[in-house]
Each structure stands twice: as C-alpha cells, then as structure tokens.
Amino acid sequence: MVRSPAAPFLIAEGVAKAFGGAQALSDVSLAMAPGEVHGLVGANGAGKSTLIRILAGLVTPDRGRIRLDGEDITVSSPQHATALGMSFIHQELAFIPGMTVLQNIMLGVPKATRFGMIDWGRIAREVEPVARRVGITAPLSSNVKGLSTAENWLINICRALVRKARLIVMDEPTASLSASESRKLFAIVEDLARSGVAVLYVSHRLDEILRLCDRVTVFRDGRSVAGFARAELSHAGLVEAIVGGAVRRTTKPAEPPPQGVVALKVSNLARRPKVEGVSFDLHHGEVLGIGGLVGAGRSELARLIYGADAPDTGTMELDGAPYAPHRPADAVAAGLGLVPEERRADGLVLTKSVAFNLTIPNLAKIVHSPLLPLIDDRRRSALAEQTVRDLAIKTTGIEAPVGRLSGGNQQKVVIGRWLIRAPKVLILDEPTRGVDIGARGEIHRLIRDLAAEGVAVLVISSEPDEQPDLCDRVLVMVEGRIVRELKGAELTRQAIIEASYARAAAAEETPS
C-alpha cells in the first residue's frame, strides 16, 4: 500500500535523557507525518519506551526539542499530551478493573453533561460506532475485568479515537495478542493511517514492521542510528541496524539428539474445560515445544505440571517416581522451574533489586551455610553479577530495582533465576516475548545449552518462527488436547499453524 508522503507535523530532535547514572537516551530524533505508520525498533533498553514516555509527558527530557506544527513544545503532563492530540498505548497496560468498558474508554476525556450530571446515555450513543469500528464486541456496559488483553488494546485504541488523536503510539502491541487478533489490529492500524492518523509502532517482530510500516527509525544504545523508507526496508538491513552486526542463528543440532531418558511423564492430565486430558513424555536433553493458539490451554497445562493449579484427573512421574505437586514450592523442590507468561504480574517483585529477583529461588546458594542461613553478600553479588554478565542484562547494577529495567531485560532476569539453579525440568511460557532479536538468539542458545547438559525443556510459544528454530519436537495443542506431534523434517512453521487451526476448522465444517 503506497500512501502519499506528507510533511511531518511532529519532530523530535536531539533528545537526551539520563536516569541517575543510566543514559537511556543520548541523542535521538524522530519525525512523524500525518497518515503514516512509523516503525520504531531497537534492542532491549535502546530507549524506545523512554522516548515515548517523553512524548507522553511522563518523563522530562534533559536536552533536545520537540516541535509540533513548527512550534517548540514541552509536554508537561499526560493531560497536556492528550490536549495536543497524542494518544498512547503503553507497553504495560493499566486498567481500572471495577469499571465498565465505556468508563474506561472515556477515562480522562471531557464528558458531555446534562444538568451537571454525566450523560452516559448520550456518550454511549456517540462511542458505540467508534467501538464497533475498532472491533470491540463486548457491550459497552460490561465490566473490563473479564476481557482479554486484545480487547483491552481495542479499548485503548477506541479511547484514542474518541479523543480525536492525530498520533497514536503503540508500544509492543502484538506482544500478548494471538495471530488472528494481531491481524485484526493490523487492519485497524491501516485503516487509521488511511484516515490521516499517524501511528508510531514499536515492535520486536520485524515481519510486522516490514508489513505495516511506511517508515522505520532504528534506535541503538540511546541514539537513532538508521532510518528507512518503505522501499529500502529489508529484514537483513533492519537486523544489521538494530544489533550493529550480524546475529548468530540458533544452534539447534542438525541431527536431533538421541532421545534421552524420560524426565517427566504426563498421563491424562486434565483440568476442564481448559485442559482436556493430555499425555506426553518429556526427555532429558530435549527441547519440547507446545504449539497452538493463544487460549488453547497451554499455559494452563504448564500450571498443572508446576503445581500452581490442581488437576481434576491424571498422574505424573518425574524421573520414574510419582510426582504430584500440591503447590509450586513442591515442584521447585522436585527440580522444576517456570518462566511464567506474565513477567510483571507473576514473575518479578518489581520494587526489589535485580539481585533480589535473581536469587529468590536460589537462597540456599547465597547463605553462609545451611546451619547459619544468613545471607553472604559476597556470594549474593557474585552470583547476581555472573548472571547479569551471562545473559547480558542491561542494568545500572545488580541493586537497581528490576521495575526500572526495560521490558526485555526484565524477562532475562526471570529466565536467569532458573539458569542459576539448573533444574531438571524447565518450563518456559513465551520466553522471548518482548525480547529483542539479538537477545532472542542469546536466550535460544542458553536453552539449547541447558538441554545439552541434560535439562528437559518445555517451551510454550505463540511466535510462529520460534519453535521450528528451537525445538526438537513440537506438540500442537488445540482446545485443551494434543492433536499433533511434529518432529524432524515435518517440524515447520507452516505445519504448526495448520495443526493449530485443524480442530477449529473441522468443528466449523461439521457443526454438531
């Protein structure tokens, strides 16, 4: 789709920002034209979210200027940003759970009143068509609590439209969306651009960037290092600009390793309606993928194996012995580890330091002795420093609060805590969500190294390319059941996708 280029209305130039000792932005520039979809890419911690937070009035820049319609502006607050016609959908969504869809859409928007009372009836009539346009199917009066991440995104987009935003900024929108939800989002983005709205689109998924964006700006270490027009865009060129060199591909052994001993045997495990009886063997030294669509019951299966939920039926064996965890502590004691899907909600204590978060399941390693369980600061620092180095976690230090790290670096902390432990079985739920392309390769390599040492690894992923690159074998789950096993030559992106939709398609053809 070729759109006519227009003159930029928003220009940021030479913007710099330091947080304490950390130079988040050194010198970045960005120009946005009406009706363009502008991609913003860069490694974890490159400063993308920081620039966005500056535009949103959440952070004040140290240097640089921002011009809107040719006039210098200082965005002093989120309200000011809204008044200037900018709308933001941040990386970590915030909602007010007790409120309705309509109330959330109208959050911070001046509302029509009648006799001094908010006229919700009239507002609903006005918002309704906008909501339908972006694809919100839930009634406006329903509570947002039960809604999916995708629907939350739609609410945010709807809010931006109601505010008549000229610029909508989306920070990693597809990170928690399914493939079909993502496709809907792309259609909405294209629709927005056609109507003259500018969209600033941040993502680590380069295929999306290639497909959607009219222009792309690349950040590296707090500087804008490259800009591409649509015609100049290529996957290789983007990767090169993002990491400043070539990326090592995943080193999956060409020949699948001879199957080791069974580490975890799962028999007929069920927790209805999400998991409907699942059986499989996971071997030592193997990276086993669980493929399928978001909502197929994969995370729920992981929680059952990990003792976070209780199964209705089914049994498990770990290294030949019966294994029935009542709580995650039992699973961890037995030698399991889990990298949960929602790192901020379920993975990290955000106000605590990197070292704290890395050492939580590894406290036995940092105390003086089992009899004197006092923390040995030297061991604690050594262990944390080592992990930060091994995983190339970008942080000002091991005592920095983990909540201040960029999204991808937070993910590395969650993974790092289990690498320290070297568990028997490691379950990773969306291990590279929000992780940049360089770090993604690193994480894949770490996973392969663990497997080479004999760890049994289970990887849940919704990114179509991830499992063929990484896994020896993939089980595709549909509606709580395993429908297909793929390995060797048949293990391809296409095969996973086809199997993921198989059951759903069959069900549609033969309505019961």
Partner 1 sequence: MTAPAARRRLSPRAKAALGIFARYATIVGLVAMIVAFSLVSPRAFPTLNNFTNVLNQASLTMIIAAGLTLAVIVGELDLSIGFAASLHGILVTGLIVSNQLPIPVAVAIVLVAGAVIGLINGLIVTKIKVNSVIATLGVGTILTGLAFAYSAGVPIVSGVPEDFLQLSLGRWLFGIPNNILIMVVVLGGLWTLVERTAIGQEIQAVGGNPSAARLAGIDTDRIKILGFVISGVCAALTGILLASRLGSGTASAADGYLLTAFAAVFLGSATLRDGEFHVLGTLIGALIIAFGFNGLNIFGAPTFSQYVLQGAILIVAVGLSSLGRSISES
Ligand X SMILES: Nc1ncnc2c1ncn2[C@@H]1O[C@H](COP(=O)(O)OP(=O)(O)OP(=O)(O)O)[C@@H](O)[C@H]1O
Contact residues for ligand X (CB under 6 A)?
19-20, 22, 24, 42, 44-50, 91, 394, 404-409, 436
Beta carbons within 8 Å of 467's beta carbon, 6+ residues apart: 289, 291, 459, 461, 474, 491, 496
* Lookup: tokens for 295: 């909502």
Given the complex with Mg ion, which of 91 and 353 has the nearer CB atom?
Answer: 91
Q: How many residues does the chain have?
A: 512
Given the complex with partner 1, which of 345 and 505 has the nearer CB atom?
Answer: 345
Given the complex with partner 1, which of 7 and 372 has the nearer CB atom?
Answer: 372
SS (H, E, C) 454-481: CCEEEEECCCCCHHHHHCCEEEEEECCE
Q: Looking at 1, 6, 60, 113, which residue binds partner 1 (CB under 8 A)?
A: 60
Tell me how far, at minimum, the Cβ of 433 lies from ligand X, in Å: 11
What is the contact mask toward partner 1 in residues 9 to 48, using x (rule: CB under 8 A)?
A: ----------------------------------------
Hey, which residues between 78 and 97 contact partner 1 (CB under 8 A)?
A: 78-79, 94-96
- Orientation angle between helical segments 149-162 and 179-194, nearest 10 degrees: 10
Q: Which amino acid is at 57?
A: G
Given the complex with ligand X, which of 390 and 498 has the nearer CB atom?
Answer: 390
Cα end-to-end span (Å), the chain:
41
Tell me how far, at minimum, the Cβ of 273 lies from partner 1, in Å: 23
What is the size of the binding site for partner 1 (CB under 8 A)? 40
338 part of the interface to partner 1, by CB under 8 A: yes
Q: Looking at 340, 407, 408, 441, which residue binds partner 1 (CB under 8 A)?
A: 340
Hey, which residues between 73 and 112 contact Mg ion (CB under 5 A)?
A: 91
Question: Which region, judged by CB under 8 A, interacts with partner 1, from 120-128, 182-190, 328-336, 495-503?
Answer: 328-336
Beta carbons within 8 Å of 8's beta carbon, 6+ residues apart: 31, 32, 33
The CA dihedral of 217, 218, 220, 222, to the nearest 10 degrees, is 10
**CA proximity to 109, closest of 129, 92, 126:** 126
Tell me how far, at minimum, the Cβ of 411 lies from ligand X, in Å: 8
Q: Looking at 308, 324, 400, 495, which residue binds partner 1 (CB under 8 A)?
A: 308
Query: How many whole angstroms from its chain centre is CA 470?
Result: 18
SS3 call for 77: coil
Tell me how far, at minimum, the Cβ of 48 lies from ligand X, in Å: 3
Other Cβ atoms less than 10 A from the Cβ of 279: the count is 13
Q: Looking at 39, 46, 49, 331, which residue binds Mg ion (CB under 5 A)?
A: 49
Given the complex with ligand X, which of 217 and 406 has the nearer CB atom?
Answer: 406
Question: Which region, judged by CB under 8 A, interacts with partner 1, from 1-9, 352-360, 383-391, 434-442?
Answer: 352-360
Burial 360-382, CB ≥16 within 10 A → b, else e:
ebbeeebeeeeeeeeeeeeebbe
Question: Which region, judged by CB under 8 A, interacts with partner 1, from 72-80, 186-194, 464-472, 492-500?
Answer: 72-80
305 part of the interface to partner 1, by CB under 8 A: no
Q: Which residue has the tokens 């568990």?
A: 423
For residue 256, what is the DSSP state? P
176 part of the interface to Mg ion, by CB under 5 A: no
Beta strand ranges found along 47-97 (DSSP E): 63-68, 71-73, 86-89
Given the complex with ligand X, which of 400 and 495 has the nearer CB atom?
Answer: 400
Given the complex with partner 1, which of 86 and 293 has the nearer CB atom?
Answer: 86
CB 26 within 8 A of CB 221: yes
CB 203 within 8 A of CB 433: no
42 touches which of partner 1, ligand X, Mg ion, none (CB within 5 to 8 A by kind)? ligand X
What is the contact mask toward Mg ion in residues 1 to 40, using x (rule: CB under 5 A)?
A: ----------------------------------------
118 part of the interface to partner 1, by CB under 8 A: no
Q: How far apart are CA 23 and CA 152, in angstroms?
A: 32
Write phi, then psi, for 326 (nearest 5 degrees). Answer: -95, -20
Q: Which residues bind partner 1 (CB under 8 A)?
A: 59-60, 76-79, 94-96, 306, 308, 327-329, 331-333, 338, 340, 345-352, 356, 359-361, 363-364, 366-367, 373-375, 401, 417
Q: Which residues bind Mg ion (CB under 5 A)?
A: 49, 91, 407
